Amino acid sequence: MTTAKFSDDCEVAVIGAGPYGLAVAAHLRSAAIGTRVFGRPMSFWREHMPKGMRLRSPWVATHIADPGKRLSLDVFARQTALTPQDQLPIERFVQYGDWFARQAVPDLDQRKVLRIEDAAPGFRLVLEDDDTVRARRVVVAMGLANQDFRPSPFVGIEPALVSHTCEHASLDKWSGKRVAVVGRGQSACESAFLLREAGSEVDLICRGEVHWIGAAPGDARHDRGWLWRLRELLQAPSAVGPFPWSWLNELPEIERRLPGGLRSWIGARSLRAAATRWVALDGVRVLAGRAVGSVLGRGNSVAVELDDGVREYDHVLLGTGYRIDIAKLGILPPDLLGKIVRRDGSPVLAAGCESSVPGLHFVGASAVDSHGPLMRFIAGAGYAGRSVTRSALAHRRGAGRDNAAGSAERMSHAGLGMGPAE
């Protein structure tokens, strides 16, 4: 019996052109693997994060990884006279991402992928203009698209009254309005700060006190003594999670091998809601330790019932974070989705960030459950690029689609992929 030859348009298709998609593409192309990338560069960062925000990651953990480190943030800074600084403004990071895309993926295809179809062997991508692309492997690098979490009391309230922070590129529209921000992480605290700067009257509603990361320069109020300063000095480069877990988080391949319960505990400890101390909440009323009961739209306002009474606002902004559910990405049809082993919505991934469907990889936020908290931050893009590339090369060398994941596993045991992200 003759096996039909797979006629592909590319060896690997990458869906998404944010930091992870760009880093994976740069690594694949450096290894001479035929790669096509789909998506608008940095679109989520440009369109779903408010003007004026800053990155939580330190400068050393904000590079978009490429194999030769020729496209690092340091190189971009030298070429554009950008002064290195921690908590880089979002506008400058988007500029850096655009620059990286022009260098690494000059032929970026900005058409939207509507659907991934299983076309064994390989996959078929259906694009927004009804064109199709065949690929032997697919890397889903869509980040936090459609993953925003909304607490049940706010579900069903009209968008004019309740929205999530990821829905806005600017918060100026609520100048002079009374706004409640729900949450106590970076997104919530930063949004409260930006709203106050824009002239809004702001309440920050949160279940507990705000947990702060680091200390504001020269702010003696936040000096916690020599032990705290020593822990800051011992912190891992990417600063994902508290010491000493931050050092383990630098090693996603090792973290993947930990027992699931321990990995989940480390993830929860490392990704708990917190905000960097540059965010000033002066002028923001912080309602800490408050539980939200019912929420009711009243014409042009929204009433929020707390455990100490009802407060009325012009708008409620949810800084309540994200919960991964790949079904909500919108590009996986039921037949393909049903073949992907999942745990609480996240794909269960082997070496190479490969799912239970051979040749289908997930990187970025979708990989956190399997590979650890680093995959939630820009610093994890280097590991993603290296691991996916090794998997593709193993397949090319004749491992075959059915055992490509096993070959990548053996390579990892041999010592590849155990180093920290670039």
Domain of 313, CATH number, reads 3.50.50.60
Mean pLDDT for 346-364 is 97
In a shared domain, residues 130 and 173: no
Instruction: Give the mean model confidence (pLDDT) for residues 156-176.
Output: 95
Query: What pLDDT is recorded for position 225?
Result: 66
For the chain, state the CA radius of gyration: 22
Looking at the fold, whether 357 and 310 belong to one and the same domain comes out as: no
Q: Which domain, by its residues, includes 167?
A: 154-251+273-318
Query: What pLDDT sits at residue 213?
Result: 81
Name the strand (E) or helix (H) holding 67.
none
pTM assigned to the model: 0.88
* Same domain? 21 vs 135: yes
User: Does 263 fall in a domain?
Assistant: no
Q: Please check whether residues 51 and 77 belong to one and the same domain.
A: yes
pLDDT tens by residue, 264-284:
999 999 999 988 888 889 999
Q: Are residues 32 and 142 in the same domain?
A: yes
Phi, psi of 199 (to 5 degrees): 100, 20
Q: Do 134 and 214 lie in a common domain?
A: no
42 within some domain: yes
Same-domain check for residues 298 and 374: no
pLDDT computed for residue 411 by the predictor? 40
Residue 166 resides in a domain: yes
> Tell me, what's the pLDDT at 412?
41
142 and 161 in a single domain? The answer is: no
Mean of the per-residue pLDDT values for the chain?
89
- What pLDDT does residue 224 have? 56
Q: Which pLDDT score, from 0 to 100, does residue 395 have?
A: 86
Domain co-membership, 301 together with 329: no
Whether residue 385 has pLDDT greater than 50: yes
**Whether residue 18 is found in the same domain as residue 68:** yes
pLDDT digit string (tens) for 222-263? 555 666 667 667 888 898 988 889 999 999 999 999 999 999
The 3-class secondary structure across 88-143, one letter per residue, is CEHHHHHHHHHHHHHHHCCCCECCCEEEEEECCCCEEEEECCCCEEEEEEEEECCC
Domain count, the chain: 2
In this structure, are 198 and 302 located in the same domain?
yes
pLDDT at 400 over 90: no
Say whether both 66 and 140 belong to one domain.
yes
